[in-house]
Homo-oligomer: A and B are copies of this chain.
């Protein structure tokens, strides 16, 4: 005989959900009290719910399995909502457990009463349930886990009233069998094989599960066999990159750049993603970014087995099997083709020198949580020839994801170094993540690129108005009054923190941080994006989010100015 909370924990652990990112309150105290009875559950305390939800996202991106969150009523869900939005867009499995008032207490409309279910549907549209009885709670939990695991993977939200949690008589239950994901339909394979074999200019746009593991390698084999170009969606949840891996060009952030990237392609094959659209709408600019006359084909949907679908397509086009180690085929980046200038020499730090230095020192198997935004624009090009690594990007566009995702990735992969490339403005949404890094002694190196402004918004402000921005407008984008001191912030949250202002200093500090286990923070002070009323944002816009090859950058230079 167990309480609902005890049996719930046992059921989660039995189904492989062994990590829970928590920020509990009174209505979750029975869940907390049960932790001592179920030691297999690793409860990771966070100081803010947005850290918990972002960490669960990062965990799922790296493991493919759901972690749980433990959130306190409607306001706790609200605080976690932005990173659940990102997790929904990243299409990860994730299980929210939200404590609620005791069922009999709800009609009294106490201070913390609110409609949790409706808000939860915003990020968890496919599965939200409020448990109604201690006796059925563990069945609710297995339903929730099955819904989270998919296919497709998604967010499931189980709301647990306090009396359901504290009630007696619950029993743990076994997990439901996972539903298998089928490969793509044979007719679709045949159609796409025909396209690939017809000599037309064709690109595969990879997203979701197609950007890492076997699926990515299979896509690379298809590219080698057919000459198709490989693109990645603009903000992949997880993309594997580096030497020996297929070269995949990320779709750019701004529509004008995407137009240049996709110009001339006659066919676009979507693999676990949708057709590219502009991140925002702009006056007189296109939202749908597939060029006129380009035909779109969908290899597989998010309910399909992506790797198996690509394997079937590879077989259909007669792609060669495994390549010999040490002899990367064309379409892959040879190890020797390291980008020039990885030793940038000493001098004041710039966003570019930070990116190049991180790329140059990137350890084998590193996980990079990339929320550097404008400041990280040259990292992708600089790290193309780095040792194999994973990059986790801002899948849903809601800033404040980078540090929490790094926490989740480090919990998921304790043997891999994690690097968080983080913009100053974005870091401030969930800076509390640093405390959890220290609390759990996670091997994370946080690099804060501090340009003392919302850099991306300077670009956007320049795009929305032809006239120069006034001082009151630009003041809204200026983080320099007072300057954020990330060394103090990191220290205050228990993470050893240093500041660097030159490239050599940064390189030495980064090398130290990577060599020593546990969390470290380096504040890289880089030039402000704008000085007074004169914006200097255009170079950033040109490279924003993903570097373009130089000739392409030239080609779009005129298009991008407002």
Could you tell me which A residues sit within 8 Å of B by CB distance?
22, 24-27, 29-30, 32-37, 39, 43, 45, 47-48, 50, 73-76, 78-82, 84-86, 89, 101-102, 104-105, 108-112, 114-115, 118-119, 121-123, 162-163, 166, 234-235, 274, 277-283, 287-288, 395-398, 400, 425, 428-429, 431-432, 435, 438-439, 456-457, 460-461, 463-465, 469-473, 475-477, 479, 481-494
Q: Which of A29, A45, A123 has the most CB of B within 10 A?
A: A29
Q: Which 10 A-B pairs have the closest CB atoms?
A: A36-B470, A482-B494, A78-B81, A105-B281, A488-B492, A102-B281, A75-B398, A489-B492, A75-B82, A111-B397
Which of B79, B108, B398 contacts A50 (CB under 8 A)?
A: B79
Cβ contact within 8 Å between B81 and A75: yes
Cβ contact within 8 Å between B39 and A472: yes
A289 → chain B, closest Cβ, in Å? 9
Instruction: Identify the closest chain B residue to A46 (Cβ).
Output: B428
Cβ contact within 8 Å between A29 and B460: yes
A122 → chain B, closest Cβ, in Å? 5
- Given known pairs A29-B460, A29-B464, A287-B105, the reply for A119 and B473 (CB within 8 Å) is no
CA separation between A475 and B428, bound complex, in Å?
Answer: 26
A446 → chain B, closest Cβ, in Å? 14
Residues from chain B with Cβ under 8 Å of A279 in the complex: 110-112
CA separation between A79 and B50, bound complex, in Å?
Answer: 8
Cβ contact within 8 Å between B460 and A26: yes
Cβ contact within 8 Å between B75 and A396: yes
- Given known pairs A36-B471, A105-B287, A428-B47, the reply for A78 and B82 (CB within 8 Å) is yes
Number of copies of this kind of chain in the complex: 2
A531 → chain B, closest Cβ, in Å? 18
Residues from chain B with Cβ under 8 Å of A281 in the complex: 101-102, 104-105, 162-163
CA separation between A494 and B482, bound complex, in Å?
Answer: 6
Which of B34, B39, B85, B490 contacts A114 (CB under 8 A)?
A: B85
20 pairs from A and B in contact (CB 8 Å cutoff): A24-B457, A27-B280, A30-B465, A33-B469, A33-B470, A36-B469, A36-B470, A43-B472, A45-B476, A75-B82, A75-B396, A78-B122, A81-B81, A89-B111, A104-B287, A108-B287, A111-B279, A112-B396, A484-B494, A488-B491
A444 → chain B, closest Cβ, in Å? 15
Residues from chain B with Cβ under 8 Å of A463 in the complex: 29
A498 → chain B, closest Cβ, in Å? 14
Instruction: Identify the closest chain B residue to A107 (Cβ).
Output: B287
CA separation between A101 and B287, bound complex, in Å?
Answer: 11
Which of B35, B85, B464, B486 contacts A74 (CB under 8 A)?
A: B85
CA separation between A121 and B119, bound complex, in Å?
Answer: 9
Residues from chain B with Cβ under 8 Å of A109 in the complex: 274, 277
Cβ contact within 8 Å between A108 and B36: no
Residues from chain B with Cβ under 8 Å of A101 in the complex: 280-281
Instruction: Identify the closest chain B residue to A27 (Cβ).
Output: B280
CA separation between A119 and B82, bound complex, in Å?
Answer: 12
Residues from chain B with Cβ under 8 Å of A108 in the complex: 277-278, 287-288
Cβ contact within 8 Å between A398 and B283: no
- Given known pairs A48-B429, A487-B492, the reply for A121 and B118 (CB within 8 Å) is yes
- Given known pairs A110-B279, A472-B35, the reply for A81 and B119 (CB within 8 Å) is yes
Cβ contact within 8 Å between B425 and A26: no
Residues from chain B with Cβ under 8 Å of A30 in the complex: 464-465
A317 → chain B, closest Cβ, in Å? 31
Instruction: Identify the closest chain B residue to A432 (Cβ).
Output: B428
Q: Which of A84, A435, A482 has the most CB of B within 10 A?
A: A482
CA separation between A122 and B102, bound complex, in Å?
Answer: 20
CA separation between A460 and B99, bound complex, in Å?
Answer: 14
Residues from chain B with Cβ under 8 Å of A479 in the complex: 47
Cβ contact within 8 Å between A105 and B432: no
- Given known pairs A85-B74, A457-B26, A492-B486, the reply for A33 and B79 (CB within 8 Å) is no
Instruction: Identify the closest chain B residue to A110 (Cβ).
Output: B277
Which of B50, B280, B461, B471 contacts A162 (CB under 8 A)?
A: B280
A242 → chain B, closest Cβ, in Å? 25
Q: Known A-B contacts: A29-B465, A81-B119, A488-B491. Give 10 more (CB < 8 A).
A: A22-B476, A25-B460, A26-B460, A33-B470, A35-B472, A36-B469, A50-B79, A75-B85, A76-B82, A489-B493
- Given known pairs A32-B476, A483-B494, the reply for A78 and B75 (CB within 8 Å) is no
Residues from chain B with Cβ under 8 Å of A121 in the complex: 118
Instruction: Identify the closest chain B residue to A395 (Cβ).
Output: B111
A342 → chain B, closest Cβ, in Å? 31
Residues from chain B with Cβ under 8 Å of A35 in the complex: 470, 472-473, 476
